[in-house]
């Protein structure tokens, strides 16, 4: 890392499952970093592990920083952390950049971009994929919307926790790209669930079936990485159904804006609602198969 | 190939898009092969290209052969070729093997297996995947049901047109495995169609989106091999919608036997019915997206 880069002052707001290791990579790479988390104990744990500075509010964390990173739950959390009484907007200087790694709506990305612009601050919507493992291994994929200037400045900093960073277009385009990702995953997982449950009901050797069909046109990342645990009915890991429902609802809501039809995504969202009712809100998204297994 | 193998007498019934090149690989590998096709001109074309012997009926083609291969359209064609007036059953000797590469029902596989057994002939249901390109390149995947003895005898012969050959279990298990494959593909393609159409409606750069999301959990063979043509609306190649509907109907019918629920597969089958109505019966299965693109 260059001297110029290392002298950048950065903050990280939100030390959840994703933010905690992402901020950790920034600290480990030599950045002077200030962190804020709603639950203070989590910030203290982080400071013990990575050093750096702890702030008691988003405004305090953001004060005088060049880049403020954020990774919280959803649109309302984002509003709170930015617009709230001691929100980031109160602390940030003109010329700085706010990078939002939350998976949120494209609409809030455009709204925040406009609001920050009025304060001469750049905003990037930069949702990630790769899950907890990707965050921990510094191997995330990041899809970025906003101005190219801000993208170019933030790129080398994000690089410490990402494997692929792509500029997608103006404000909101990062979020829209993430939505396409989740729509594709919904289809893959429902097909895989129906296929594997069918194999089990037909008396086939599920492992052997996966081995054969993963060599051809039915192959998918989900088949290779989730097929075996689906056969065993193991769901206590991975990307939670609660989060997937949040994401699918962002897609369905956005489809009303851009005139898309998402019949399968809407159906799968309803199946996930059923998984939640059965107590599987924290299960991995591959638990769709639980509704189809005859037991 | 060993002398013992090369001395095997084989026949091939059905020189369609798949059977024509499969039989060709057998001839090119040195097998003494007799072919039969319903449309005689097609047999003559094949003989001109590969040499070998032409028969005027399945019975004549099968006469005195060690292994009779077959690749026709669907269950009714299979009945005709085997039970018909000059069907294969009339020509085959006890101790020989009938290998069916048609994608057909698991029920007819079990029925034919029983019927052939009464004549002391072994039957293998051996549907393939890999499409026309796989057949032409000798790179098919074959999923086989039947007795292990017959499998072991036919394996080295099938090897000349296959890359992967797997024994799945008793009669019908090859067909059931192929069904799992098609169910998984239906889900992948519907998700991909909704995702790509959404990207286009949202104004995203579709190629850039595919490049980004194909590196993560949304990745699939279909995304890599069909995503680009879907963006362009090109469907004049590949695996036809008419065939996919035939296959999905086999799955839906079998699900009534084994107690599986296939809500997404049933929905996608209906979407394919719509594609057919729009004149897309010969289009590639990725044409599902045609129903979602706003044009």
Report CB contact under 8 Å: B197, A173. no
- Determine the Cα–Cα distance for residues B262 and B14; give it in Å rounded to an integer: 32
Mean pLDDT, chain A, as a whole number?
96
Minimal Cα–Cα distance from B10 to chain A, Å?
A: 26
B259: nearest Cα among A158, A64, A194, A5: A194
Report CB contact under 8 Å: B143, A221. no
Bridge partner list, A169: A145
- Do A212 and B166 contact (CB within 8 A), yes or no? yes
Q: Which residue of A has its CA nearest to B182?
A: A218
- Determine the Cα–Cα distance for residues A35 and A19; give it in Å rounded to an integer: 10
Q: Which residue of A has its CA nearest to B201?
A: A258
- Determine the Cα–Cα distance for residues B218 and A291; give it in Å rounded to an integer: 22
In which residue ranges of chain B is pLDDT below 50?
none
- Do A214 and B127 contact (CB within 8 A), yes or no? no
Bridge partner list, A167: A144
- Determine the Cα–Cα distance for residues B139 and B162; give it in Å rounded to an integer: 5
Minimal Cα–Cα distance from A116 to chain B, Å?
A: 23
Residues in chain B within 8 Å Cβ distance of A217: 129-131, 181, 185, 221-222, 225, 239
Cross-chain CB nearest to A181 (options B197, B213, B263):
B213
- The reply to whether A208 belongs to the active site is no
Check: complex ipTM more than 0.85:
yes
**What angle do the packed helices A241-258 and B173-201 form, to 10 degrees?**
50
Place of tokens 């298990």: B173
**Which residue ranges make up each domain of chain B?**
3-170, 177-291
In the numeric block, which tokens belong to residue B105?
């029902």
Report CB contact under 8 Å: A216, B130. yes
**Is A177-291 assigned to CATH 3.40.50.280?**
no
- Determine the Cα–Cα distance for residues B113 and B226; give it in Å rounded to an integer: 37
Report CB contact under 8 Å: A198, B204. no
In which residue ranges of chain A is pLDDT below 50?
none
In the numeric block, which tokens belong to residue B81?
């070729």
Give the β-pairing of B9-13 and A140-145: unpaired
Report CB contact under 8 Å: B204, A168. yes
Cross-chain CB nearest to A177 (options B197, B204, B259):
B204
Q: In the prediction, which pLDDT does A7 show? A: 84
When computed from its CA atoms, the radius of gyration of chain A, rounded to whole angstroms, is 20
User: What is the CA angle A215-A272-A130, rounded to 5?
Assistant: 55
C-alpha neighbours within 13 Å on the C-beta side of residue A284 = 20
- Determine the Cα–Cα distance for residues A282 and A268; give it in Å rounded to an integer: 17
User: Within 10 A of A17 (CB to CB), how many other CB atoms are there?
Assistant: 13
A226: nearest Cα among A273, A290, A279: A290
HEC string for chain B: CCHHHHCCEEEEECCCCCHHHHHHHHHHCCCEEEEECCCHHHHHHHHHHHCCEECCCHHHHHCCCCEEEECCCCHHHHHHHHHCCCCHHHHCCCCCEEEECCCCCHHHHHHHHHHHHHCCCEEEECCEECHHHHHHCCCEEEEEECCHHHHHHHHHHHHHHEEEEEEEECCCHHHHHHHHHHHHHHHHHHHHHHHHHHHHHCCCCHHHHHHHHCCCCCCEHHHHHHHHHHHHCCCCCCCEHHHHHHHHHHHHHHHHHHCCCCHHHHHHHHHHHHHHHCCCCCCEHHHHHHHCCCC
Task: Report in angstroms the alpha-carbon separations of A161 from A61, A116, B147.
Answer: 20, 25, 53
In the numeric block, which tokens belong to residue A11?
């903050």
The DSSP result for A49-96, as a single string, is HH--EE-SSHHHHHTT-SEEEE--SSHHHHHHHHHSTT-HHHHPPTT-
Residues in chain B within 8 Å Cβ distance of A163: 215
Q: Which residue of B has its CA nearest to A257?
A: B202
- Do A239 and A133 contact (CB within 8 A), yes or no? no
Query: Under 8 Å CB-to-CB from A270, ≥6 apart: which residues?
Result: none
State phi, psi for B255 to the nearest 5 degrees. Answer: -65, -25
- Do B190 and B262 contact (CB within 8 A), yes or no? no
Q: Which residue of A has its CA nearest to B267?
A: A264
Task: Report in angstroms the alpha-carbon separations of B48 from B15, B24, B41, B57.
Answer: 13, 11, 11, 19
Burial class (CB in 10 A: 0-12, 13-18, 19+), B7: exposed
C-alpha neighbours within 13 Å on the C-beta side of residue B143 = 32
Report CB contact under 8 Å: B198, A222. no
Report CB contact under 8 Å: B205, A169. yes
In three-state secondary structure terms, A149 is helix
B70: nearest Cα among B82, B85, B57, B83: B82
- Do B65 and B35 contact (CB within 8 A), yes or no? no
Beta carbon pairs, A and B, within 8 Å: 253
Q: In the prediction, which pLDDT does A217 show? A: 95
Q: In the prediction, which pLDDT does A295 show? A: 63
In three-state secondary structure terms, B151 is helix
Report CB contact under 8 Å: B194, A260. yes
- Do B206 and B200 contact (CB within 8 A), yes or no? yes
Residues in chain A within 8 Å Cβ distance of B218: 129, 180-182, 184-185, 188, 221
Q: In the prediction, which pLDDT does B7 show? A: 84
Determine the residue among B211, B217, B270 to mutate to test chain A binding: the one whose Cβ has the most chain A Cβ atoms within 10 Å.
B217
State phi, psi for A136 to the nearest 5 degrees. Answer: -70, -35
Taking the domain A3-170, which CATH number applies?
Answer: 3.40.50.720
Q: Which residue of B has its CA nearest to A106?
A: B202
The DSSP result for B34-76, as a single string, is EEE-SSHHHHHHHHHHH--EE-SSHHHHHTT-SEEEE--SSHH
State phi, psi for A164 to the nearest 5 degrees. Answer: -135, 125
Q: What is the DSSP letter of B131?
A: H
- Do A184 and B213 contact (CB within 8 A), yes or no? yes
Q: In the prediction, which pLDDT does B167 show? A: 98
Report CB contact under 8 Å: B221, A220. yes
Cross-chain CB nearest to B187 (options A169, A176, A188):
A188
Question: Model pTM?
Answer: 0.96
User: Within 10 A of A79 (CB to CB), how many other CB atoms are there?
Assistant: 16
């Amino acid at each position: 890392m260059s001297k110029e880069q290392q002298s950048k002052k950065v903050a990280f707001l939100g030390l959840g499952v994703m933010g905690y290791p992402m901020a950790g990579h920034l600290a480990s790479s030599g950045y002077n970093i200030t962190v804020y988390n709603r639950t203070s104990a989590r910030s203290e744990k982080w400071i013990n592990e990575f050093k750096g500075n702890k702030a008691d509010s988003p405004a305090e964390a953001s004060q005088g920083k060049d880049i403020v990173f954020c990774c919280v739950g959803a649109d309302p959390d984002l509003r709170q952390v930015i617009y709230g009484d001691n929100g980031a907007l109160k602390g940030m200087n003109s010329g700085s950049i706010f990078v939002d790694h939350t998976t949120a709506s494209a609409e809030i990305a455009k709204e925040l971009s406009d609001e920050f612009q009025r304060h001469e601050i750049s905003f990037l919507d930069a949702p990630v994929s790769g899950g907890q493992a990707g965050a921990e291994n510094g191997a995330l994929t990041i899809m970025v919307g906003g101005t190219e200037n801000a993208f170019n400045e933030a790129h080398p900093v994000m690089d410490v926790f990402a494997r692929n960073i792509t500029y997608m277009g103006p404000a909101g385009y990062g979020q829209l790209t993430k939505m396409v990702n989740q729509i594709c995953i919904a289809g893959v997982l429902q097909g895989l669930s129906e296929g594997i449950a069918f194999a089990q009901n037909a008396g086939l050797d599920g492992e052997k079936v996966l081995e054969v069909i993963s060599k051809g046109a039915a192959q998918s990342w989900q088949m290779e990485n989730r097929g075996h645990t689906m056969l065993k009915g193991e769901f206590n890991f991975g990307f939670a159904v609660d989060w997937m429902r949040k994401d699918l609802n962002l897609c369905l809501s956005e489809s009303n804006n851009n005139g898309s039809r998402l019949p399968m995504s809407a159906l799968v969202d309803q199946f996930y609602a059923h998984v939640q009712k059965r107590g599987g809100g924290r299960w991995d998204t591959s638990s769709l198969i639980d509704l189809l297994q005859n037991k």
